[in-house]
Amino acid sequence: MDDWLIPTLSLQTELNQERARRAAARMGRDQLAVRVDELITAWFLHRELINRLLGRVRQLEVQLALKDARPLGQPTDEHHQWATELLGRDGVS
């Protein structure tokens, strides 16, 4: 698995996360219900954004692959070099 897929948090972010967790542990039921609602809404929005971004990445990967691909049957520079060498060996120029 690629390392960039494994999220790592900065020390500042870890500290903020721990503060938020401790604050949540002290919240009452009504406060927690409000926070849960906020988190559920954010979760779905972030998930949609990530899905859209991944779709765009896939589109760009396909475009890049098609740009780099040569049409089937089209000779490469290496093919031209081989042909030149073969023709030169046979005395044909």
pLDDT at 11 over 50: yes
pLDDT at 78 over 90: no
Domain boundaries, the chain: 7-89
| Average confidence (pLDDT) over 2-10 | 84
pLDDT at 73 over 90: no
47 versus 1: the higher-pLDDT residue is 47
At residue 49's C-alpha, the angle toward residues 47 and 1, to 5°, is 65
| Average confidence (pLDDT) over 24-36 | 97
Residue 81 pLDDT = 83
Structure tokens at 18: 């721990």
Distances (CA, A) of 42 to 13, 17, 24, 45: 18, 16, 17, 5
Contact 35, 27 (CB under 8 A): yes
